[in-house]
Structure 1
Amino acid sequence: YLLVAHECYRQQDWMYRHHEDRIDDRIVSLSQPHVRPIVRGKARARVEFGAKVAISLVNGDALIEELSWDNFNEGTTLQTSVETYRRHYGFYPEAVLADTLYRNRKNLNYCKLHHIRLSGPRLGRKPKDKQVQKTERQTDRRDFKGRIPIEGKFGEGKRRFGLNRIRTMLRESSETAIALKFLVMNLERRLRASLRFFCFFRNIRSLFFVHSMT
């Protein structure tokens, strides 16, 4: 606590002497010096405190791609996520359904190089062919619907799994708790899928039994 308080005093003194309102790695909590203020600009809270997590959704499973206590640009994680996918499955994905924040020049060129379709409208002028325009609109609409599950993953984690109620103090403990939340979410999803298959199989056997009896 003494070391943290000394660093906190140094930061406050520097901002006072230089007439600044911000400083890198600013400490806002003596008990959790790793927590950083992240400006989000939301209506309820302009600044949020906690870890920032970027995830991907592969076959229904939520995978943590980046976890940091400092603010970062999500668009920089796309290429790393795609390369991780290739290492796991042995090939590149056919398409990446991502937010418009990921559609920068580097990511577009990267996806074009590896023949990956990055969701969203193409850059430049629209094609003159009406049929091509219709096909692209249908693809964009299908991609938008495909992104709905990942948009609700964080809401599901906060409402049902307490992702916004982590009370651990240490940095390592908090990161472990966050990873366990997503692990439990994935396990429950697979359990629901197994139960649906079991119920479907049981109904088929029941119908077969009734048909045999009649």
Structure 2
Amino acid sequence: MFLKNYACCSDERLMEQLNSNIHYQLFCRLLLGIGEQINNFKIISQIRCELSAKLDIDKVQKCLAKHWLPYMEELDQVVTDATCYESSLRFPTDQKLLWEATDWCQNQLKLLCSYGKQAMPRSKYNKWKQRYWNYSRKRRKSKKERTAITRGLLKLLKKLLEELVVMLKQLDVQMPERYYTQYAIIEKVLKQQSYRFATGKSPEDRIVSLSKSYIRPIVRGKETKAVEFGAKVNKIQINGISFIEHLSFDAFNEGTHFKSSVYFAQSLTHTKVKIIGADAIYATNANRRFASFNNIRTDFVRKGRAGKHEHHRKQLAAQIKKERATRLEGSFGKDKQHYYLNRIKARKKDTETLWIFMGIHVGNALEIGRRMQNQAIIAA
């Protein structure tokens, strides 16, 4: 899994690298003989699933911090911020989601009718299939066209779901667990999209993908990407080494994690935090009072009159902001561009969490390795 994020390649490509690169083999404590190779690249996916089921982020991070502390300095200084690591999925629209749900229901009906040797129930599936194809090919879609296609797909999806229930009762068969899970997701999609179509409001915990039903829209407010789809992570950074304070696939306000970030940093380093840098969203009155009570210096914009040492406060705040803007926010881009966190291709919630965890800490491990090498050179 370390090599997966280090090499930034697919499972199949990674297995090819492992078979041909002796350095990768030695890293994995594996030495293949002449002409010997591993052909089953799916073993990487099996390892990923096994590790994701056992991953305890807090426990592992405390273990890593314990071994990395000798190579870290300025343990009383922390910076924190949040980012979104996007998942690999097609850009979600209501029409795409409804069509995927409708198509799934139609395919399940075909299978059940084939099993029971029955004729397919009548529906307008073929008509709406052609209409959806014509709609999807258009570069510009008017509001009138969107409304018509959404209304038609909602009615068709409702009918197909009802037909599935009737068909299962008639045939009296037990479907796999995966079927009932997907049926429940589609039923929830129908309720949410019906509510959205009737009121124009976004429902709570809106599903945007059938294959990744745990993904939620994360409103970031950026110029290029107003909304992102993936896991939101609140990170802390100590001397350039990043740790995950909170990871969630639901949107959350990182400003409420200011206190927990301080306590989390102290639990990792066993050192009292004296300086912390954070974005303006963290600068709430409650967080300001907490920082003042614990004698923690911040880079928050001052409220009220200037103090006696205002000049020194401004200098310190400028240094903290520079550290946060360069090292912490720079680490977001480095993780996404160099450690395979740009578009996460995992298919399950647990494996996607493991993917993010490995991507962040692979970068940390390489940085610690460079520091170990520098210390060895100096000592020599």
TM-score of the aligned structures, taking structure 2 as reference length: 0.50
Q: Is contact 1:15-1:23 (8 Å) kept?
A: yes
Alignment match, 2:344: 166
SS in 1 for 2:304: coil
Q: 2:287 aligns with which of 86, 99, 107?
A: 107
Query: Are 2:311 and 1:134 aligned?
Result: yes
CA distance in structure 2 between the partners assigned to 1:171 and 1:121 by the alignment:
38
Query: Are 2:179 and 1:2 aligned?
Result: no
Structure 1 range deviating more: 149-158 or 38-47: 38-47
Alignment match, 1:205: none
* Aligned-residue offset at 1:181: 0.9
CA RMSD across the alignment: 1.6
Alignment match, 1:210: none
CA distance in structure 1 between the partners assigned to 2:361 and 2:266 by the alignment:
21
CA distance in structure 2 between the partners assigned to 1:89 and 1:51 by the alignment:
26
Higher relative contact order (CA 8 A, sep 6+): 2
CA distance in structure 2 between the partners assigned to 1:163 and 1:121 by the alignment:
32
SS in 1 for 2:305: coil
Query: Are 2:266 and 1:86 aligned?
Result: yes
CA distance in structure 2 between the partners assigned to 1:149 and 1:188 by the alignment:
15
Closer, same or farther: CA 110–158 of 1 in aligned 2, 3 Å: same
Q: 1:146 aligns with which of 323, 328, 331?
A: 323
Letter in 1 for 2:225: A
Alignment match, 2:377: 199
CA distance in structure 2 between the partners assigned to 1:87 and 1:153 by the alignment:
22
Give the 4+ runs in structure 1 shifted more than 3 A. 88-91, 199-202
SS in 2 for 1:124: coil
What 5-or-longer segments of structure 2 have no aligned partner? 1-181
* Aligned-residue offset at 1:98: 1.2
How do residues 19-38 of structure 1 correspond to structure 2 at under 5 angstroms? 19-38=199-218
Structure 1 range deviating more: 38-47 or 55-64: 38-47
CA distance in structure 1 between the partners assigned to 2:321 and 2:339 by the alignment:
26
Q: Is contact 2:298-2:317 (8 Å) kept?
A: no
* Aligned-residue offset at 1:92: 2.4
Determine what percentage of the aligned residue pairs are the same residue: 31
After superposition, the C-alpha distances for 1:97-152 in whole angstroms (9 at most, x for unaligned) are: 1112111111111111111112233211224x5xx332222112222222221111
Alignment match, 1:206: none
After superposition, the C-alpha distances for 1:43-78 in whole angstroms (9 at most, x for unaligned) are: 222211111111000132100011111111111111
After superposition, the C-alpha distances for 1:165-186 in whole angstroms (9 at most, x for unaligned) are: 3101111110111011111111
SS in 2 for 1:48: strand
CA distance in structure 2 between the partners assigned to 1:45 and 1:60 by the alignment:
27
* Aligned-residue offset at 1:190: 0.3
Rg bigger for which structure?
2
Q: How many residues align?
A: 198
CA distance in structure 1 between the partners assigned to 2:186 and 2:333 by the alignment:
35
CA distance in structure 2 between the partners assigned to 1:155 and 1:58 by the alignment:
17
CA distance in structure 2 between the partners assigned to 1:23 and 1:111 by the alignment:
37
Q: Is contact 2:236-2:265 (8 Å) kept?
A: no
CA distance in structure 2 between the partners assigned to 1:115 and 1:44 by the alignment:
38
* Aligned-residue offset at 1:91: 4.1
Q: Is contact 2:299-2:318 (8 Å) kept?
A: no
Structure 1 range deviating more: 176-185 or 88-97: 88-97
TM-score of the aligned structures, taking structure 1 as reference length: 0.86
What 5-or-longer segments of structure 1 have no aligned partner? 203-214
SS in 2 for 1:87: helix
Query: Are 2:248 and 1:68 aligned?
Result: yes
